Amino acid sequence: MDKRVIITLFSTVLLALVLLLVKAFHKECVPVDFVFSPEHPMQGEFVKFKVVSESNEELTWSFGDSSVFETGKEPIHKYDSAATYKVKVSTDEDCFSEKEIIIATNRKMETVQLQFNYPAEIHVNEPAVFTDATNEATAWTWEIEGINGSESGKSFIPTFKRAGRYTIILMVRGKYIQGDTSFEIMVQPEMQTYTPEPAPKPVVVAAPAKAVTKASKYMSDSDFETNFISIANALASEDENAGNRWRDKIVSQTGTARTMKVIIIDGSQQIERKLENFKQTQLVSSEPYKVLLVKNIVRSIKDGPITEITIMVIKK
- Checking if the pLDDT of 150 tops 70, the result is yes
Question: With 70 as the cut, is the pLDDT of residue 248 above it?
Answer: no
Q: What was the pLDDT predicted at 241?
A: 43
Q: Can you tell me the distance from the alpha carbon of 242 to that of 3, in angstroms, rounded to the nearest whole number?
A: 164
Neighbouring-strand partners of residue 110: 177
All domains in the chain, ordered by first residue: 34-103 (2.60.40.10), 110-188 (2.60.40.10), 221-315 (3.30.70)
Question: CA–CA separation, 277 vs 4, rounded Å?
Answer: 158
Secondary structure class of 256 (helix, strand, coil):
coil
Q: What angle do CA 73, 76, 81 make, to 5 degrees?
A: 135
Which pLDDT score is estimated for 226?
56
Percent of the chain residues past pLDDT 70, beyond the cut:
59
* CA 200 to each of CA 195, 197, 203, 209: distance values in angstroms, whole numbers, following the listed order: 15, 9, 9, 26
pLDDT of residue 174: 94
Mean pLDDT of 289-298: 59
pLDDT, tens digit (0-9, with 9 covering 90-100), for 47-75:
999 998 887 788 899 999 989 999 988 99
As a whole-number percent, the residues of the chain with pLDDT over 90 amount to: 38
pLDDT at 110 exceeding the cut of 90:
yes
> 38, 103 in Cβ contact below 8 A?
no
Rounded to 5 degrees, φ, ψ at 286 are: -95, 5
Q: What is the pLDDT of residue 185?
A: 97
Model pTM above 0.85: no
Q: Is the pLDDT of residue 283 over 80?
A: no
What b/e readout covers 172-185, taking b as 16+ CB neighbours within 10 angstroms?
bbbeebbbeeeeeb
Nearest in space to 172 (alpha carbons), one of 159, 163, 181: 181
Q: Which residue has the higher pLDDT, 186 or 32?
A: 186
Strands (E), the chain: 34-37, 46-51, 60-62, 70-71, 76-78, 83-92, 95-103, 110-111, 116-117, 122-123, 130-132, 137-144, 150-151, 155-156, 164-174, 177-188, 245-254, 257-265, 289-301, 304-315
- Confidence class of residue 29 from pLDDT cuts 50, 70 and 90? confident
pLDDT at position 310, please? Answer: 67
pLDDT band per the 50, 70, 90 thresholds, residue 277: low
